[in-house]
Amino acid sequence: YLDVEKTVHWFYRFVRVAWMFLPQSHHWRLMLQPSSRSCKFQLSKDQESFMVEMIFGVRQGDSDIFVGSQPTEAGISSTTWLETYAVAEAKFFRHISRQAPHDSWHYKCLQLLSHILMGVGFSSYDLKTVVMHLLNTVPLTEPSRRNFWRQLTDTLKYLRCSLETKQLNHFIIGNEKFPTEISLPSDVRAAEAPNLFQHLASNPDAHMKAMQEYFQLLHQ
Protein backbone atom coordinates (compact mmCIF):
# COMPACT_ATOMS: atom_id res chain seq x y z
CA TYR A 1 0.00 0.00 0.00
CA LEU A 2 3.05 2.29 -0.16
CA ASP A 3 2.15 5.26 -2.33
CA VAL A 4 4.92 6.36 -4.72
CA GLU A 5 3.66 9.90 -5.19
CA LYS A 6 3.28 10.51 -1.45
CA THR A 7 6.78 9.11 -0.89
CA VAL A 8 8.23 11.45 -3.54
CA HIS A 9 6.38 14.43 -2.06
CA TRP A 10 7.71 13.63 1.43
CA PHE A 11 11.27 13.22 0.14
CA TYR A 12 11.10 16.51 -1.79
CA ARG A 13 10.15 18.35 1.40
CA PHE A 14 12.91 16.55 3.32
CA VAL A 15 15.58 17.50 0.74
CA ARG A 16 14.41 21.12 0.58
CA VAL A 17 14.80 21.52 4.36
CA ALA A 18 17.99 19.46 4.75
CA TRP A 19 19.76 21.26 1.89
CA MET A 20 19.85 24.55 3.79
CA PHE A 21 21.95 22.96 6.55
CA LEU A 22 24.63 21.64 4.18
CA PRO A 23 27.77 23.74 3.50
CA GLN A 24 27.41 23.01 -0.25
CA SER A 25 24.26 25.14 -0.28
CA HIS A 26 26.44 28.28 -0.07
CA HIS A 27 28.06 27.50 -3.43
CA TRP A 28 25.57 25.29 -5.27
CA ARG A 29 22.00 26.02 -6.27
CA LEU A 30 19.48 23.21 -5.86
CA MET A 31 16.41 23.20 -8.10
CA LEU A 32 13.81 20.50 -7.64
CA GLN A 33 12.29 19.20 -10.88
CA PRO A 34 8.66 18.06 -11.12
CA SER A 35 8.26 14.28 -11.07
CA SER A 36 5.59 12.02 -9.61
CA ARG A 37 7.53 8.72 -9.32
CA SER A 38 11.13 9.77 -8.65
CA CYS A 39 13.06 12.61 -7.07
CA LYS A 40 14.74 14.80 -9.68
CA PHE A 41 16.84 17.84 -8.95
CA GLN A 42 19.40 20.00 -10.67
CA LEU A 43 22.59 21.26 -9.07
CA SER A 44 24.31 24.25 -10.61
CA LYS A 45 27.28 26.50 -9.82
CA ASP A 46 28.62 29.09 -12.23
CA GLN A 47 28.92 27.21 -15.54
CA GLU A 48 28.65 23.75 -13.97
CA SER A 49 25.34 21.95 -13.90
CA PHE A 50 24.16 18.37 -13.56
CA MET A 51 20.95 16.47 -12.97
CA VAL A 52 20.31 13.84 -10.32
CA GLU A 53 17.40 11.40 -10.28
CA MET A 54 16.69 9.17 -7.31
CA ILE A 55 14.54 6.07 -7.73
CA PHE A 56 13.02 4.63 -4.59
CA GLY A 57 13.07 0.90 -4.03
CA VAL A 58 11.81 -1.77 -1.65
CA ARG A 59 13.98 -4.87 -1.31
CA GLN A 60 12.36 -8.28 -1.76
CA GLY A 61 13.43 -10.31 1.27
CA ASP A 62 17.22 -10.63 1.47
CA SER A 63 17.68 -10.83 -2.31
CA ASP A 64 19.15 -8.28 -4.74
CA ILE A 65 15.78 -7.88 -6.45
CA PHE A 66 13.75 -4.76 -5.68
CA VAL A 67 10.45 -3.21 -6.60
CA GLY A 68 11.06 0.37 -7.64
CA SER A 69 9.32 3.67 -8.22
CA GLN A 70 10.71 4.12 -11.75
CA PRO A 71 8.38 5.91 -14.21
CA THR A 72 5.65 3.73 -15.71
CA GLU A 73 3.06 3.92 -18.45
CA ALA A 74 0.26 6.40 -18.00
CA GLY A 75 -2.67 5.15 -15.95
CA ILE A 76 -0.59 2.98 -13.59
CA SER A 77 -1.70 3.29 -9.96
CA SER A 78 0.55 5.27 -7.64
CA THR A 79 0.67 2.22 -5.34
CA THR A 80 2.09 0.03 -8.13
CA TRP A 81 5.83 -0.62 -7.85
CA LEU A 82 7.56 -2.43 -10.72
CA GLU A 83 10.14 -5.15 -10.24
CA THR A 84 13.65 -3.93 -11.06
CA TYR A 85 16.90 -5.83 -11.53
CA ALA A 86 19.17 -2.76 -11.56
CA VAL A 87 20.92 -3.64 -8.30
CA ALA A 88 21.63 -7.23 -9.37
CA GLU A 89 22.91 -5.97 -12.73
CA ALA A 90 25.20 -3.43 -11.04
CA LYS A 91 26.58 -6.20 -8.83
CA PHE A 92 27.16 -8.33 -11.94
CA PHE A 93 29.29 -5.56 -13.50
CA ARG A 94 31.27 -5.27 -10.25
CA HIS A 95 31.70 -9.06 -10.30
CA ILE A 96 33.09 -8.84 -13.84
CA SER A 97 35.34 -5.90 -12.92
CA ARG A 98 37.08 -7.97 -10.28
CA GLN A 99 38.00 -10.50 -12.98
CA ALA A 100 38.59 -8.15 -15.89
CA PRO A 101 41.93 -6.59 -16.82
CA HIS A 102 42.30 -2.94 -15.89
CA ASP A 103 40.34 -0.59 -18.14
CA SER A 104 38.54 -3.45 -19.82
CA TRP A 105 36.56 -3.01 -23.03
CA HIS A 106 32.98 -3.44 -21.87
CA TYR A 107 32.50 -0.04 -20.22
CA LYS A 108 33.81 1.89 -23.23
CA CYS A 109 31.88 -0.32 -25.63
CA LEU A 110 28.61 0.25 -23.76
CA GLN A 111 29.24 3.99 -23.48
CA LEU A 112 30.02 4.32 -27.18
CA LEU A 113 26.98 2.35 -28.34
CA SER A 114 24.67 4.16 -25.92
CA HIS A 115 25.90 7.48 -27.30
CA ILE A 116 25.34 6.33 -30.90
CA LEU A 117 21.82 5.20 -29.94
CA MET A 118 20.67 8.81 -29.91
CA GLY A 119 17.94 8.95 -32.55
CA VAL A 120 17.88 5.17 -33.09
CA GLY A 121 15.01 3.00 -31.85
CA PHE A 122 17.00 0.55 -29.72
CA SER A 123 16.90 1.06 -25.98
CA SER A 124 20.09 1.30 -23.96
CA TYR A 125 18.74 -1.64 -21.94
CA ASP A 126 18.72 -3.83 -25.07
CA LEU A 127 22.42 -3.11 -25.61
CA LYS A 128 23.17 -3.51 -21.92
CA THR A 129 21.53 -6.96 -22.06
CA VAL A 130 23.60 -7.94 -25.11
CA VAL A 131 26.83 -6.83 -23.40
CA MET A 132 25.95 -8.72 -20.20
CA HIS A 133 25.28 -11.91 -22.17
CA LEU A 134 28.66 -11.55 -23.90
CA LEU A 135 30.46 -10.88 -20.63
CA ASN A 136 28.96 -14.04 -19.19
CA THR A 137 30.08 -16.24 -22.09
CA VAL A 138 33.18 -14.76 -23.77
CA PRO A 139 36.57 -14.72 -21.95
CA LEU A 140 37.78 -11.23 -21.03
CA THR A 141 40.80 -9.92 -22.91
CA GLU A 142 43.56 -7.43 -22.26
CA PRO A 143 42.59 -3.90 -23.32
CA SER A 144 43.92 -2.81 -26.70
CA ARG A 145 42.57 -0.98 -29.74
CA ARG A 146 42.38 -4.24 -31.68
CA ASN A 147 40.51 -6.07 -28.90
CA PHE A 148 38.13 -3.13 -28.38
CA TRP A 149 37.02 -3.13 -32.01
CA ARG A 150 36.71 -6.91 -31.99
CA GLN A 151 34.49 -6.79 -28.92
CA LEU A 152 32.49 -3.94 -30.41
CA THR A 153 31.96 -6.05 -33.52
CA ASP A 154 30.95 -9.05 -31.40
CA THR A 155 28.36 -6.90 -29.65
CA LEU A 156 26.86 -5.74 -32.94
CA LYS A 157 26.88 -9.30 -34.33
CA TYR A 158 25.08 -10.58 -31.22
CA LEU A 159 22.50 -7.81 -31.60
CA ARG A 160 21.98 -8.66 -35.27
CA CYS A 161 21.57 -12.37 -34.51
CA SER A 162 19.03 -11.51 -31.81
CA LEU A 163 17.12 -9.31 -34.24
CA GLU A 164 17.11 -11.93 -36.99
CA THR A 165 15.85 -14.63 -34.60
CA LYS A 166 13.58 -12.11 -32.82
CA GLN A 167 14.94 -13.46 -29.53
CA LEU A 168 16.82 -11.62 -26.79
CA ASN A 169 16.45 -13.32 -23.44
CA HIS A 170 16.33 -11.33 -20.24
CA PHE A 171 19.77 -11.60 -18.68
CA ILE A 172 18.80 -12.32 -15.08
CA ILE A 173 15.46 -14.14 -15.14
CA GLY A 174 16.01 -17.82 -15.88
CA ASN A 175 19.79 -17.44 -16.28
CA GLU A 176 21.38 -20.56 -14.79
CA LYS A 177 24.88 -19.11 -15.38
CA PHE A 178 24.22 -16.01 -13.30
CA PRO A 179 26.86 -15.68 -10.52
CA THR A 180 25.62 -17.40 -7.38
CA GLU A 181 27.24 -14.76 -5.15
CA ILE A 182 24.48 -12.36 -6.24
CA SER A 183 21.34 -13.18 -4.28
CA LEU A 184 18.31 -14.03 -6.41
CA PRO A 185 15.04 -15.67 -5.32
CA SER A 186 14.89 -19.31 -6.44
CA ASP A 187 11.80 -18.64 -8.55
CA VAL A 188 13.72 -15.97 -10.54
CA ARG A 189 16.52 -18.39 -11.37
CA ALA A 190 14.07 -21.16 -12.29
CA ALA A 191 11.67 -19.01 -14.32
CA GLU A 192 11.52 -19.01 -18.10
CA ALA A 193 13.50 -16.06 -19.44
CA PRO A 194 11.27 -13.37 -20.99
CA ASN A 195 12.03 -12.48 -24.59
CA LEU A 196 12.81 -8.76 -24.78
CA PHE A 197 12.17 -8.92 -28.54
CA GLN A 198 8.78 -10.62 -28.28
CA HIS A 199 7.15 -7.54 -29.80
CA LEU A 200 9.25 -8.08 -32.95
CA ALA A 201 8.10 -11.69 -33.25
CA SER A 202 4.44 -10.64 -33.21
CA ASN A 203 4.75 -7.53 -35.38
CA PRO A 204 6.41 -7.90 -38.82
CA ASP A 205 6.40 -4.12 -39.39
CA ALA A 206 8.19 -3.52 -36.09
CA HIS A 207 10.73 -6.20 -37.00
CA MET A 208 11.43 -4.63 -40.38
CA LYS A 209 11.86 -1.22 -38.76
CA ALA A 210 14.22 -2.69 -36.14
CA MET A 211 16.40 -4.24 -38.86
CA GLN A 212 16.54 -0.90 -40.68
CA GLU A 213 17.54 0.83 -37.45
CA TYR A 214 20.22 -1.80 -36.89
CA PHE A 215 21.83 -1.01 -40.24
CA GLN A 216 21.53 2.68 -39.40
CA LEU A 217 23.35 1.98 -36.12
CA LEU A 218 25.98 -0.05 -38.00
CA HIS A 219 26.51 2.81 -40.46
CA GLN A 220 27.00 5.30 -37.62
What CA–CA distance (Å, rounded) separates 184 from 180? 8
Domain map (residue ranges) of the chain: 86-218
**Residue 158: C-alpha distances to residues 44, 60, 127, 137, 184 (Å):** 40, 32, 10, 12, 26
What CA–CA distance (Å, rounded) separates 171 from 136? 10
Amino acid (1-letter code) at residue 96: I
What CA–CA distance (Å, rounded) separates 19 from 55? 19
Each of the 220 residues of the chain gets a pLDDT tens digit; together they read 889 999 999 999 999 899 999 999 999 999 988 888 889 999 999 989 999 889 999 999 999 999 999 877 777 888 989 899 999 999 998 888 787 655 556 667 667 766 666 556 678 788 889 888 988 887 665 555 566 777 778 888 898 999 999 999 999 999 888 888 899 988 888 899 999 999 998 999 999 988 988 887 777 7
What CA–CA distance (Å, rounded) separates 78 from 125? 24
Strand stretches in the chain, DSSP E = 29-33, 39-45, 48-54, 57-59, 66-68, 82-84
CB 170 within 8 A of CB 194: yes
**Angle at CA of residue 77, ends 72 and 82, nearest 5°:** 45
Q: pTM of the full predicted structure?
A: 0.78
Host H or E run for residue 29: strand 29-33
CB 45 within 8 A of CB 27: yes
